[in-house]
Structure 1
Amino acid sequence: MLSTAAPDTGRMDRTRSLSPRLRRLRQWRPSRPLGWTLAALGIAILLLVLFFDWNWFKGPLERAVGSATGREFRIGGDLDVDLGRTITVSADQLTLSNAEWSKEPRMGAAERVEIDIAAWPLLALRLRMKEIRAVRTDIWLETNPDGEGGNWEFGDDHSDPDEDPRWRLERLWIDDGRLRFTNASERTDIDLALASIEGGDRSTAPVAVKGNGHWRGAAFRMEGQAASPLELADTDTPYRIDLDARAGRTRASATGTLTNPFRFQTFDLQMKLAGADLEELYPLLGLALPASPPYALDGRLRRNGDVWRYEGFKGTVGDSDLSGDVKVDVSGERPLFVAQLLSRKLDLDDLAGFLGAPPATGAGETANAEQEAEAARRAASPRLLPDKPYDLAKLNAMDADVRWRAQKIQSPTLPMIEDMDAHLVAQAGRVRLQPLDFGVAGGEVRADITMDARRAPIDTVARIGVRGVDLPKLLAKAELAQGAVGRIGGDISLRGRGNSVAAILGSADGDVALGMGRGRVSNLVMELAGIDIAEALKFLLTDDRQVPVRCAFADFGVEEGLMTSRALAFDTTDTIIVGEGTINLQDESLDLLLRPRPKDRSILTLRSPLRVGGSFKDPSFRPDMKALGLRGAIALALGSITPPAALLATFETGPGENADCGGKYAR
């Protein structure tokens, strides 16, 4: 029995409610020939997409890039496009020509570039590049010969900085890249290998950097990391670097940021600087610093336009600590070097470079190989005064204003030197040390030195004042000085011409006067000076005692480097010593005759004059045998002993107490 289903009255009602046109459209079916036609069209579109030769667009694309940059752009290989929600455009053998003023024809080249582009923003005429992958790129950046701008500037940019840009690049990945930078006016060229580093956020992937080149003509090499080159496009955003560089024996490690790196006008870096000699910074930075032993410094290096600052640095130079702040202003005709320096402990021989001498090279001393060789040469030389000439070009290369304080000075050979305060001012080849103060044996040696290096030979004027130098501290290492009392003062005024310390002193004219007022010395010293054998043996076998000193003075006139005595005496209640002779600063020879006259009576008193000869480096002391047994040979012993009037004010036995030495010799 057949059953009949009930009709779907709801569906029938909906069908009847449609308009006749819509009912006809719903009921239409394509004919068989038309269906085949539509299928063929779809297949054709698919084949067109799959097999279309995108190289047809190379010409329009080259013209578009050329119009935007003002440079010729070429795609020497294939151009291909993969369509989808992300469109990938790839091209091979790309080149971009250089600026018209450049001698290098190409600014950039790449073996292959792939660009991922978001599809939907294209409908709004905006280009959003998700990533650019560049393989074996070679980019050449160089500054304009006039020093303004570089080949990375493409025509005039009339875009509104507040307007949302119509293109954006999010990521840049470099595979086996090369970046070269040239600044001919600064004699600087850099050749770097770049490669993006895997790991972390790919959008901000840094690049490994390794290469070499020349900085101000000096060869160097470097390696480290830098931020993505994509960030170089924003010249207002600091570009982060972490690099180590070496130029010869000079090493630098810099961590921080550069703003507009290719102009190199603004940066803020933590800089570690180390090397064998501060003098080697001259070709690198143009700073005419004196020779020094090996150094290592760490501080904050900043630049803002023409002003460089190395702030809060600390470190060592040789065996001395050094800290402070340095500012270099390069806006003028010559760089201006301004520094405030502090050493809590200064090894005195580390200052030898100021005099043209090497630092000490014994056990525990710090020096470089050249300084060790120079010290060995000087040790074999019979001369003592430094003869290394100053470099006049360097003395004229920069101006300076430097204050250097040393709280404590270490010197095994000169332990009496305690501290230092030096102020150096250099301007247009004229160098002045005022003051150059040393605390010496409880007193002070204050110097005012001027060097005019505007032409050779250097004209040097030195005025040195000695005040309140304590005798026992001065002779702290001499056992016979124990218990001695007395203070030394005097003045030295010299003027010489020469390009080294030895040449300046060897040509000097002036005066040298030193003296001591009332005090005490060891009796044994005086007996030995008078060669009183019996008295000396007595004090050697028993206890020494102190003998009052009436005064002591040495007054020399200096002409053409020859110091000739005008007055020379040492007067105590026990012995008087008067002398005469010369000290030759030119050949460093000594020729002094000291005539002792003991004031007591002894059967073994030889009363022989003492001849001081030899050289500064190897002095000799011997009795004058020809004068043995001669009585009354001391010409000034029975007369008046009067020091130069200028010395009287420097004699003192205590604060505010001056002493003369003008009385008659008393038997």
Structure 2
Amino acid sequence: MSPPGATRGQPAARSRRRAARVAAVAAGLLLALLLCEALGWPFLRGPVERAAARATASVVSIEAPFRVRFVFSPQLQAGRIVVAAAHGMALPHLVDAHALRADWRWGDIRRWRDGAPLRLEALRARTLDARLQRLADGRASWQLGQRRAPPAGEAALPRFGLLTLDEGHIEIDDHALALRATVDLSGSEGEGGRGIEARARGQYRGHDLDLRAHATAALPLLDESEQAPALPVRLEGKVGQVVLAFDGRAAALLTGRRLDGTLRMQGPSLAAVGAPLGLALPATPAFELVGRLAHDAGVWHLVAESATVGSSRLTGDFRYDGTREPGRLDGRLGGERLALADLGPAVGAPGTAAAPPPPGAPPPRVLPQREFDLPQLRGMDAEVQVAIAELDFGTEALAPVRQLRARVRLDDAVLRLEALSGVVGGGRVDGWSALDARQTPARWSVDLNFDRVAIDQWIRALRRGGAGDDPRRALLTGVLEGRLVLAGRGRSTAQILGSADGDGRLLLRRGTVSHLLTEAAGIDLAQALGVLVRGDEALPLRCARLEFGVEDGLVVPRVAVIDNRDSTVFVDGRASLADETLALRAQVRPKDFSVLSLRTPVLIGGHFSRPQVGLQASRLVGRAAAAIALGVLAAPLAALLPFVDPGSGDGPDPCTAAPRSAAAAAASAPRR
């Protein structure tokens, strides 16, 4: 029989032995764990490969040398890792990395399994080749672990806290963005990193793309998520025909999510900028722009501090909302000078001077023939306020319009120029214009008013000796008032004007007209010689009035008269905007006596580009025949009688006469 104390000590001993065995096992397990951690769990390559395949719902291949750590700072190292593209896409792989090391946090892995974008603490690789593809239905090659494709645009690329690449290659084929590009990367990011150098080449919306970038990090340049950090980036290169340089902060560079920085652009035309972005910008001469560009949540904001378009000097502040359907452009356009020639390509005129036609060739067309890009007007809506200090017509013959103001609106493919006004010749011009591209062919209409415009100050060619000459020596002066209303259809300026209907009214009062010009127009040789001897003078202008109708491109004067104390000049005929021909006749009725006046109508014919001026031969031949007959039958001095003009004297104001109907005016027009 054992002593009582020994009985009581046996359970305690067994407990100690069990505790010792448990401690030994735990120590062994801990030792084994530490040993495996130290060795990198080489025998887990197969299980990790299979677990990664289950987690990504894709085929994963891991090649030796293989090391993985699960404690403290989880990481994986492999000689090579290949991850197949999601959704069974026909790509060689999603990622193929050599000499790779990936660091992660378990919390990020849990959030990824719950649907958040995959995030790794660091990724280092000697070489990395990635194939990123998104189909039109929204499925993307990087949607790892997602067996159901998210809505288009919601798939987010993996994110990295640190990326180091000796050599990276990414191929992008994004059907949603119409982007196909190859991106080559190298460098390191994070603290102490030299940054990432990237070059993207390919096509964006059918336009060639060649961009070079330097950034402190690379993946934010490709990340599509709204949480992607905006990092310092320098970008330069070419998109389509536009050369650009950007220095600022950016995220999702290739997809245009967020940008903010200084911008310099140049290209052959503003239309070259709008084409890749889907904007309906006008065709212009070469341009250069310096300013600031920002983009966030689908909204672009451009501040053009200095913009040179041809010889124009402009500024602007524009906001384009691409989230709307169609997109919408709002802003203002200002500047010190806008040259009309720089808008020529927008209305179909050639951007450069045309070469002279060869001898014997048909007369060149004057009205622009090039067709408008009307489908582009359906691509967006717009409202832009215009305030230009000077609109230059590109010729010394015309003074510029100053203080040009207008509101440009584009709604539902209807382009309107509203609240148009400007100062010219001390007076004003105002009105509106519209181009309706909803109709086929497009319909254009215009309504312009002229108020108190000094014609010699506007039309400098009327001043002999240049614009600075004394107005009293101008060929024609006066205050112009009137209105022009036209409407036409077509796909070019020539087609629209060639089909135009409408009318116009111009009235010139309180002016003067050159005496010599008046006598020359009336073919009054005696009085013209007298004016040459004593010097020209400005005759007070009683009035000048032009009213005309336009029907199917044919311009026919209803009233066309210039009246002064010496003579009254009547003009009739026609001008065709369709075939650009002239058939006009000017008839002068002297009011005073003249001993040597041919008093023969002057005919103006030919083509707009080659006008021809001559005399009505039948009248001249008749007077010459009468002069010869009188000289032979009567006396030599009698031969002058057919050329003597007693003058008609003053009569009622011809400018107050009722205009003729269009039919009557057309019937009296001279035939070509």
CA distance 1:317–1:324, shift in 2 (3 Å): same
The residue type paired with residue 98 of structure 1 is A
1:380 to partner: Cα distance: 8.3
Task: Tell me the SS of whatever aligns to 2:366.
Answer: coil
Task: Tell me, in whole angstroms, the C-alpha distance in 2 between the residues paired with 1:359 and 1:542.
Answer: 48
Q: Of the candidates 91, 103, 118, which is equivalent to residue 78 of structure 2?
A: 91
Q: Secondary structure at the match of 2:87?
A: coil
Selected match of 2:347 from 341, 347, 355: 355
Q: Is 2:310 the counterpart of 1:280?
A: no
The whole-number CA distance in structure 2 between the counterparts of 1:457 and 1:597 is 46
Report if the CA contact (8 A) 1:205-1:228 is conserved.
Answer: no
Judged with a 3 Å threshold, the aligned counterparts in structure 2 of structure 1 residues 603 and 551 are, in CA distance, closer, same or farther, namely: same
CA contact (8 A) 1:171 1:230 kept: no
Q: Do residues 429 (structure 1) and 441 (structure 2) align?
A: no
Q: Distance in 2 between matches of 1:438 and 1:394?
A: 29
The residue number in structure 2 matching 1:210 is 199
Answer whether contact 1:491 1:513 (CA < 8 A) is retained. yes
Change (3 A) 1:405 1:214: same
Q: Indicate the residue corresponding to 1:415 in structure 2.
A: 398
Distance 1:504 1:571, change over 3 A: same
Superimposed CA distance per residue, residues 395-452 of structure 1 (whole angstroms, 9 cap, x where no aligned partner): 2222121222220233224432322223221111112111333433222332321222
Which of 511, 518, 523 is 1:526 aligned to? 518
Give the C-alpha shift of residue 577 in structure 1: 0.7
- Contact 2:597–2:643 (CA under 8 A) maintained in structure 1: no
The offset of 1:644, in angstroms, is 6.0
**8 A contact 1:360–1:375 mirrored in 2:** no
Alignment partner for residue 209 of structure 2, among 216, 220, 237? 220
Specify the code of the residue in structure 2 equivalent to 1:440: V
Shift of 1:633: 10
* SS of equivalent to 1:605: coil
Matched residue of 1:390: which SS?
Answer: coil
Deviations 1:191-223 (A, max 9, x none): 1111106xx976433111123011122221111
Matched, 1:134 2:125: yes
2:165 to 171, 174, 187: 174
Structure 1, unmatched stretches of 5+, are 1-44, 119-127, 157-167, 362-371, 648-667
Aligned residue in 1 for 2:62: 75
Paired position in structure 1 for 2:611: 619
Match of 1:607 in 2: 599
**Map of 1:456 onto structure 2:** 440
* 2:185 paired with 1:194: yes
SS for the counterpart of 1:112 is strand
1:256 aligns with 2:248: yes
What displacement does 1:500 show? 1.2
Per-residue displacement from partner, 1:120-150 (whole Å, max 9, x unpaired)?
xxxxxxxx99964311211223446445987
Match of residue 484 from structure 2: 492
Q: Which residue of 2 aligns with 1:403?
A: 385
Question: Relative to structure 1, is the Cα distance of residues 429 and 69 closer, same or farther in structure 2, using a 3 angstrom cutoff?
Answer: same
Distance 1:228 1:236, change over 3 A: closer
Matches within 5 A, 1:538-549: 538-549=530-541
Q: Which of 537, 562, 575 lines up with 1:583 in the alignment? A: 575
In structure 2, relative to structure 1, the CA distance for the partners of 1:149 and 1:421 (3 Å cut) is farther
Measured after TM superposition, the shift of residue 547 of structure 1 is 0.8
Give how far 1:523 is off: 1.6
Give the distance between the partners of 1:473 and 1:220, measured in 2 at CA: 50
Question: How far apart are residue 231 of structure 1 and its match?
Answer: 5.8
What residue in structure 2 maps to residue 33 of structure 1?
none
Measured in 1, the distance between the counterparts of 2:645 and 2:429 equals 37
| Counterpart Cα distance in 2 of 1:472 and 1:284 | 46
User: Aligned partners of 1:413 and 1:352: how far apart in 2?
Assistant: 18
Q: How does 1:44-193 map to 2 (within 5 A)?
A: 55-66=42-53, 69-79=56-66, 90-100=77-87, 102-104=89-91, 106-114=93-101, 132-143=123-134, 145-147=136-138, 151=142, 171-193=162-184
Residue identity matched to 1:387: Q
Whole-angstrom CA distance in 2 between matches of 1:327 and 1:426: 14
- Secondary structure at 1:387's aligned position in 2? coil
Partner of 1:366: none
* Distance in 1 (alpha carbons) for counterparts of 2:75 and 2:139: 38
Evaluate the alpha carbon distance shift between residue 644 and residue 532 of structure 1 in structure 2; reply closer, same or farther with a 3 A threshold: closer
Which whole-Å CA distance do the structure 2 matches of 1:473 and 1:601 have between them?
Answer: 34
Q: Deviations over 1:79-105 (max 9, x none)?
A: 2589xx999964212111222264435
Aligned residues: 570
- What is the rounded CA distance, in whole Å, between the counterparts of 1:479 and 1:374 in structure 2? 29
1:339 lines up with 2:328 in the alignment = no
Q: Letter of the aligned partner of 1:309 in structure 2?
A: H
Letter in 2 for 1:241: V
Aligned partners of 1:258, 1:405: CA distance in 2, in Å?
A: 32
Report the Cα offset of residue 569 of structure 1: 0.8
Task: Give the structure 1 partner of residue 371 of structure 2.
Answer: 389
User: SS where residue 294 of structure 2 aligns?
Assistant: strand
Counterpart amino acid of 2:390?
K
Cα separation, partners in 2 of 1:473 and 1:230, compared to 1, 3 Å: closer
Offset, 1:259: 3.8
- Tell me how far apart the structure 2 counterparts of residues 102 and 254 of structure 1 sit (CA, whole Å): 35
Write the deviation string for residues 562-594 of structure 1: whole angstroms up to 9, x where unpaired. Answer: 112211110000111112111111111111111
State whether residues 192 and 212 of structure 1, in contact with CA within 8 Å, keep that contact through their aligned partners in structure 2.
yes
Partner of 2:183, secondary structure, is strand
The match for 1:513 is 505
Letter in 2 for 1:133: R
State the 1:356 CA deviation: 1.0
**Counterpart Cα distance in 2 of 1:94 and 1:462:** 68
Cα offsets for 1:10-66 (capped at 9, x unmatched):
xxxxxxxxxxxxxxxxxxxxxxxxxxxxxxxxxxx9xx9999796423123324544
Check conservation: 1:409, 1:417, Cα contact below 8 A.
Answer: yes
**SS of residue in 1 equivalent to 2:655:** coil
Q: In 2 relative to 1, CA 188–236 (structure 1 residues): closer, same or farther, beyond 3 Å?
A: closer
Q: Is the 8 A contact 2:596 2:645 kept in 1?
A: no
AA of the residue aligned to 2:429: V
8 A contact 1:358–1:374 mirrored in 2 = no
SS of the residue 2:592 aligns to = coil
More off after superposition, 138-147 vs 556-565: 138-147
RMSD value, Cα: 3.9
Post-superposition offset of 1:340? 0.4
Q: Deviation digits for residues 582-628 of structure 1, max 9, x if unmatched?
A: 11111111111111122232323222211111222222222223223
- Paired letter, 1:391: D
Could you tell me whether the CA contact under 8 Å between 2:94 and 2:141 is conserved in 1? no
Q: TM-score, normalised by structure 1?
A: 0.76
Is 1:319 paired with 2:311?
yes
TM norm structure 2? 0.76
Please state whether the residue corresponding to 1:62 is helix, strand or coil. helix
Letter in 2 for 1:107: L
Deviation string, structure 1 residues 219-270 (Cα, Å, up to 9, x no partner): 2111131222366789342133211121332112222223455764333232
Aligned-partner SS, 2:176: helix
Say whether the 8 Å CA contact 2:220–2:228 is kept in structure 1: no
Identity of counterpart residues, as a percentage?
29
Q: Secondary structure at the match of 1:352?
A: helix
